[in-house]
Homo-oligomer: A and B are copies of this chain.
Amino acid sequence: MYSPLIDELIDALRCLPGVGPKSAQRMALQLLERDRKGAARLVQALNEAVEHVGRCQLCRTLTESEYCEICANPRRDNQQLCVVETPADLFAIEQSNTYRGRYFVLLGHLSPIDGIGPEAIGVDQLMNRLVEENVSELILATNLTVEGETTAHYISERARQLNVIVSRIAHGVPMGGELEYVDGGTLAHAFSSRKQL
């Protein structure tokens, strides 16, 4: 209903999460009417990020370096390894300022119906780290959803065979809640009251 190029821009903006037809329209018109500099900056940032951002070779979080800042930080505690589903969950835990160990990012969770098995979420890589780095505690901080619980259960079974202490964050995170939306205080509480599995 606008011109073809504007219509295509509106459509393309809908790939962004939470953006429906009405907000996509507002975004496109705002960029074209008033903020072409912002549009150019966005193009540049998207290009750079898509071209250079890959996975950290150790923890699998998103980064443009071989190792992310946390993995590359020699002052982080090697004894604890915390498993999260996504980079946003890692970020949320870092924001809560309660944890000084290392991470492993699954970039997803087990979902047999979608064909996502242990390999897709890097469980073998995780098990290798437990052995090679001599980790003493594995903290499972997957979401408190059905999929997150299933994934935590599967990993705990695998890790127990390696004689590692396995714990699960527990109190404080609401049932069905996603870590990314939990405030720092709640997360800190969930960490300190974790239970050994």
Which positions in A face B, CB cutoff 8 Å? 1-6, 8-9, 11-13, 15-18, 23, 25-33, 35-36, 38-50, 52-53, 62-65, 68-69, 86-88, 91, 94-95, 107
Contact = CB atoms under 8 A, between A and B. Distances in A.
Nearest to A51: B5
A2 B47 contact: no
B17 A26 contact: yes
Given A18-B23, A41-B15, A88-B26, A49 B62 contact: no
A47 to B, nearest CB: 6
B47 A43 contact: yes
A181 to B, nearest CB: 9
Contacts of A31: 15-16, 46, 49-50
B38 A12 contact: yes
A73 B189 CA distance: 65
16 contacts: A4-B64, A5-B48, A5-B64, A8-B48, A12-B41, A13-B42, A15-B35, A15-B38, A15-B41, A16-B16, A18-B23, A26-B88, A28-B49, A31-B49, A36-B50, A43-B43
Nearest to A35: B15
A4 B45 CA distance: 10
Nearest to A38: B15
A37 to B, nearest CB: 8
A57 to B, nearest CB: 13
A50 B28 CA distance: 10
Contacts of A52: 5
Given A8-B45, A36-B50, 20 more contacts: A1-B94, A3-B53, A3-B68, A5-B53, A6-B63, A8-B48, A12-B41, A13-B16, A15-B41, A15-B42, A16-B30, A17-B26, A31-B50, A32-B50, A32-B53, A32-B62, A33-B62, A33-B86, A33-B107, A39-B49
